[in-house]
Chains A and B, each alone.
Chain A
Amino acid sequence: MHPLRHLNVGQILVVLALGFAAACSSGESARDAQRTVTVYVSTDRVFSEPVLQEYQRRTGVRVNAVYDTEETKSTGLANRLLAEKARPQADVFWSNEPVRTLVLKSREVLAPYRSPGADGIPAALIDPDGYWTGFSARMRVIAYNTKTVTPADAPQSVFDLADPRWKGQVAMADPRFGSTSFHVAALYAVAGDEKMDDFFRRLKANDVRIVDGNSVVRDLVARGEVKVGLTDTDDVNVALENGQPIAMVLPDRGGLGVPVMPNMVSLIANAPHPEEARKLIDYLLSADVERQLAQSDAVQIPLHAGVQGPKNIPAIDTFKPMTLDYTKAAARVEDVTQRLASILGL
């Protein structure tokens, strides 16, 4: 007899019903006995998950984490937070760059909370209204291939990338998404529309390669497919640790300043577990977490004084950061996205 002929409709319906019931009971109601906190995280999972697991281990509080995908793979957590605004599921939002946080602030998804953990963090990296606090930063850098470019020849400014000597040899991630969107919005906010429009037109004429993400830029530079590229410090560090022929320049140290992107942590408005949320925020802003992120592959730069930074990355007090109003930069994102879509043909 055929194996599947043993099944009849009634048996299938019973299995369906049991399965659906199991699916429905998989939510928080099944874990009510334990304290919980829900955090939406857009910092790379490989870096953030160990931090959250450590918190769970130390405190016994169950951390329900929702991680983000790479910005060009799916629409991301910011949209989920916006969609859930009327009835939030998240307690905390941990972002790896300012744009998402500031969009959420403007859409009233966040609530103010001034954490004692913010003591010691520079005021420029704390929201005056208390809706976000920065910690553990990265920088935007120019990566170059050390087999084809000498340190003396490496571009020292973002604007050097439009030089004809780099024609066809420059890569950058899609400027509509992620940390690159923050970078270009910051440049427009600081340098002005006319200068930046002209720069990107010249970059387009220079056959700039627009790719999927910062890690792709790093890989292209490391493999020698291009000589230089715009990416983040943590991406370059991965290649350095793997012994690949790559180095980085902090751009515009003597000019506009180096773009600094702090992680940002925020309390969600009407969070289901506000007390646990505040405790988690306090923990994330602690020097201990900054030490963890500095010493891990994340190589994030501590903002608390006295915390040892990562070995391949300059400390934040050794260069001139870009003087930036993050709110103004984030407000430019939509307009800049449309401008670049037109100029770069995206």
Chain B
Amino acid sequence: MWGLRSSRTVILGLATVVFVFACFLPLLYMIALSLEPGSVARTYRVLLLDARQRDLLYNSAALGGGAALLSTVLGVPLGVGLAWLAIPCKRLFRLALVAPLLLPPYVVGLAWIYLGSSTGIVATVAGRDFLSEWTYSLSAAIAVLGLVYYPLSMLATEVAVRRVDARLEEAALLVAPPGRVFAKITLPLAAPAIGAAALVIFVLAVSDFGVPGLLRVRVFTTEVFTAFSALYDFGRATALTVPLMVLATIVAVVATALVGDRLVAGRRALGGSRPLGFDRWRITISLFGAVVLIAALAMPLAVLVREALGAESIATVVRGSWSAIQASIMLAAIGATLVVAIAVWLGYARARAGLVVGRLADVLFVVLFAVPSTVVGVGLIGLWNRAGPFGQLYATDAMLLLAYLARFVPVAALVLAASVRQVPVSHEEAAAVAGAGWLRTVFRIVMPQAKLGILAAWIVAFILSFGELGASVLVAPPGESTLPIRIYTLIANTPSSHVAALALLQAAVIFGPLAVLGLATRSREVG
């Protein structure tokens, strides 16, 4: 099966080459730049573990760990509920629960400031300020990021739980109560996917700059940003990426060791049956979802709408954004498709790899995903802005697509690996015995069973690509821009009402296509 000319070798080899080229090279270029002779000591002395560095390490770890924990606590029950329970208007409920992911974290942070600052809504209504000190804190940053990213945990959990064979749960229910069945059967089998989502959220949180910058929390990303923006020092900025990558490595190693690599046998029976005995959780989960929606979506939207209504003319705000909207949707859609097209093979390779290679791959994906977007952007400029064939692509929209590949192939591979792991190897072996080639087996056996995971990965890649700013600002062709670039270039010296209106526009634009996709995709709903 691994012969030099076998389709498996060729395709997985090609995907690996593209992965190295797209995701690794920009970082390697920046590291090479930082190792210029004569400046290495000056550049890397920032890594000395003094008190400042220890503070950064603690804040970054706490931010990532806290956001991942909160997202998991919120997302797992909701994911289980969506997979098992007959919740009224489930499709709309799911769409609403996913919606917080569409709001840029920075904008949600803004909404919290409008709410909790010393002259915010709470202080105005209560007549005194008791919230502003918490509003600008590490805890607030954790809360904001946890509320933005819980949909990732929710989606991963739903997909994983749907893949658990209902017969296992039904058999266990004969001798154990539903809670014990959930804890001993369902949760362990869904753990790899939940763990992968938690890892992704951890990396998203530690690599975020907007929220900690806004809420004045000092983390490594703010230091990287300072090295670029205040000091124009590429080497120093790259050096400051190293602790971030070390932190991501440690967390990834620990997480993969704890979560393990359990495989799931079988799939749910046809017709979408669900294990009996969990219906009594329906009201609880529905109420829980409503509370989460209020905190994560309704509140920030209400605050933004209130601010936006102060704008003199919403039409003025959105005028001229139509080409940016079109560009964003098209580029995000193409980018997500390219990302998934490559990541699906990487995810397959990881899912079918041995224990050691598989865990190394997980760590590698996490570390690459943690690289700050600006480092990626500057690396892409250095690699592609040169004479010759490479230079033909520079200053075209292809650079934005390359930025999306560089940033999001690792996270998509993580998501897809978790999904493919739930497809039994025995199905592929049976197909091989029946005479089917590897490629045919993958397209006819593996991918159909992993299609929910593929869809989830596409949605995640689309949302992340749409909202990508740090690398896009650096590589977008002159004269053209995406919606986030347009919004952030207009924010300066624009009233907060206009900022709020533009943020709502971004959320609405991205929500539209996803809502259509969500409603058009008929999944096997329970009940």
Interface, chain A (partner B; CB < 8 A):
2-4, 9, 12, 15-16, 19-20, 22-29, 38, 40, 44-47, 62-76, 78-80, 82-84, 86-87, 89-90, 103, 107, 176-177, 181, 210, 212-213, 215, 219, 223-225, 234-235, 238, 242, 297, 333-334, 337, 341, 346
Q: Cβ of A70 and Cβ of B491 under 8 Å apart?
A: yes
Stretch of B73-81, B382-390, B425-433 contacting A (4+ beta carbons < 8 Å): B382-390
Q: Cβ of B494 and Cβ of A79 under 8 Å apart?
A: no
Given contacts A20-B401, A23-B334, A89-B394, 11 further A-B contacts (CB under 8 A): A19-B333, A24-B397, A26-B397, A40-B478, A64-B479, A73-B106, A73-B491, A78-B232, A89-B478, A224-B119, A242-B495
Nearest CB of A to B35, in Å = 17
Complex Cα gap A292–B470 (Å): 32
Residue among B231, B331, B392 having the largest count of chain A Cβ atoms under 10 Å? B231
Chain B residue numbers with a CB within 8 Å of A12 are 337, 341
Complex Cα gap A38–B480 (Å): 11
Nearest CB of B to A72, in Å = 6
Stretch of B6-14, B57-65, B179-187, B209-217 contacting A (4+ beta carbons < 8 Å): B209-217
Interface, chain B (partner A; CB < 8 A):
106, 117-119, 210, 213-214, 216, 218, 225-226, 228-234, 330-331, 333-334, 337-338, 341, 374, 378, 381-382, 385-387, 391-398, 400-401, 443, 469-470, 473-474, 476-481, 485, 488-496, 520-522
> Do A75 and B493 form a contact, CB below 8 Å, given A80-B381, A83-B378, A83-B385?
no
Chain B residue numbers with a CB within 8 Å of A71 are 229
Q: Cβ of B493 and Cβ of A234 under 8 Å apart?
A: yes
Nearest CB of B to A96, in Å = 9
Chain A to chain B contacts (Cβ below 8 Å), 22 pairs? A3-B520, A23-B400, A26-B396, A27-B396, A44-B493, A63-B479, A66-B476, A66-B478, A66-B479, A67-B489, A68-B492, A73-B210, A73-B488, A79-B378, A87-B391, A87-B394, A89-B394, A89-B395, A176-B230, A297-B493, A337-B231, A346-B226
Chain A residue numbers with a CB within 8 Å of B333 are 19
Q: Cβ of A45 and Cβ of B490 under 8 Å apart?
A: yes
Partner of A212, one of B214, B231, B234, B479: B214
Q: Cβ of B118 and Cβ of A225 under 8 Å apart?
A: yes
Complex Cα gap A33–B113 (Å): 49
Nearest CB of B to A206, in Å = 17
Chain B residue numbers with a CB within 8 Å of A80 are 381, 473-474
Q: Cβ of B494 and Cβ of A46 under 8 Å apart?
A: yes
Q: Cβ of A16 and Cβ of B337 under 8 Å apart?
A: yes
Chain A residue numbers with a CB within 8 Å of B334 are 16, 19-20, 23
Nearest CB of B to A70, in Å = 4
Of chain A, the residue at the smallest CB distance from B338 is: A16
Complex Cα gap A214–B206 (Å): 27
Nearest CB of A to B115, in Å = 14
Q: Cβ of B396 and Cβ of A25 under 8 Å apart?
A: yes
Of chain A, the residue at the smallest CB distance from B231 is: A334
DSSP class of B's interface residues: helix, strand, loop or mixed?
helix
Nearest CB of A to B85, in Å = 23
Chain A residue numbers with a CB within 8 Å of B492 are 44-46, 68-70, 213, 215
Chain A residue numbers with a CB within 8 Å of B229 are 71-72, 75-76, 79, 176-177
Complex Cα gap A22–B331 (Å): 10
Of chain A, the residue at the smallest CB distance from B385 is: A87
Complex Cα gap A4–B516 (Å): 12
Nearest CB of B to A10, in Å = 11
Complex Cα gap A86–B480 (Å): 22
Complex Cα gap A76–B231 (Å): 12
Partner of A75, one of B218, B392, B470, B522: B470
Chain B residue numbers with a CB within 8 Å of A83 are 234, 378, 381-382, 385, 474
Nearest CB of A to B309, in Å = 15
Q: Cβ of A82 and Cβ of B477 under 8 Å apart?
A: no
Q: Cβ of A74 and Cβ of B470 under 8 Å apart?
A: yes
Considering the complex of A and B, which 5 residue pairs feature the smallest CB-CB distances, nearest first?
A64-B479, A27-B396, A64-B478, A23-B397, A75-B228
Chain B residue numbers with a CB within 8 Å of A15 are 337
Chain B residue numbers with a CB within 8 Å of A69 are 469, 473, 485, 488-489, 491-492
Chain A residue numbers with a CB within 8 Å of B395 are 27-28, 89
> Do A86 and B386 form a contact, CB below 8 Å, given A19-B334, A66-B476, A225-B117?
yes
Q: Cβ of B489 and Cβ of A20 under 8 Å apart?
A: no
Of chain A, the residue at the smallest CB distance from B331 is: A23
Chain A residue numbers with a CB within 8 Å of B495 are 238, 242
Chain A residue numbers with a CB within 8 Å of B473 are 69, 74-76, 80
> Do A2 and B522 form a contact, CB below 8 Å, given A9-B443, A23-B401, A238-B495?
yes
Chain B residue numbers with a CB within 8 Å of A235 are 493
Complex Cα gap A23–B391 (Å): 14
Complex Cα gap A238–B119 (Å): 20
Q: Cβ of A86 and Cβ of B385 under 8 Å apart?
A: yes
Complex Cα gap A63–B341 (Å): 36
Of chain A, the residue at the smallest CB distance from B496 is: A219
Complex Cα gap A192–B115 (Å): 42
Complex Cα gap A250–B374 (Å): 37
Chain B residue numbers with a CB within 8 Å of A28 are 395
